[in-house]
């Protein structure tokens, strides 16, 4: 059976007139396909039950990376050069990482 590989996504605010969207670079999807998997993009859900339902169906997980993680998660203060933070993504990826380890 072909493995189902989850790919964590971020939130994009492309335009003022367009609602936010979830996604990631096509290169991650292509890499999973080349490796013989079926990619599934995982939105940054705050609902832990819904996120766990997705996670439990996966055969593998790719935490694709992205913007800076909030330093509050590891007890530090934000640096002046800190980029845009996607808190829902931080929360979702931290949960996924805990479940995967």
Q: Got the DSSP string for 7-47? A: EE-EEE---TTS--EEE--HHHHHHHHHTT-EEEEE---S-
Count of domains observed in the chain: 1
Q: Could you tell me if residue 61 is inside a domain? A: yes
Task: Tell me whether residue 91 is in a domain.
Answer: yes
pTM check: above 0.75: yes
> What is the residue whose two structure tokens read 């990376």?
65
- 7 in any annotated domain: no
Q: Which of 2-11, 45-54, 61-70 has the weakest average pLDDT?
A: 61-70
Residue 24 lies in a domain: yes
Domain that holds residue 90: 20-70+82-100
- What confidence tens digit (pLDDT) does each residue in 1-19 have? 899 999 999 887 776 777 8
Strands (E), 28-100: 38-42, 60-62
3-state helix, strand, coil in the chain (%, to 5): 35, 20, 45
Share of the chain above pLDDT 70, in %: 80
Domain contains 60: yes
Q: Which residues are CB-neighbours of 33 under 8 A, at least 6 positions away?
A: 39
């Amino acid at each position: 059976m072909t493995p189902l590989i989850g790919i964590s996504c971020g939130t994009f605010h492309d335009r003022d007139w367009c609602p936010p969207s979830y996604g990631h670079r096509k290169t991650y999807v292509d890499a999973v396909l080349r490796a013989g998997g079926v990619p599934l993009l995982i939105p940054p859900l705050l609902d832990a039950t819904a996120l766990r339902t997705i996670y439990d169906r996966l055969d593998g997980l790719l935490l694709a990376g992205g913007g800076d993680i909030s330093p509050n998660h590891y007890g530090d203060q934000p640096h002046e050069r800190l980029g845009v933070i996607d808190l829902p993504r931080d929360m979702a990826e931290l949960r996924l990482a805990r479940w995967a380890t």
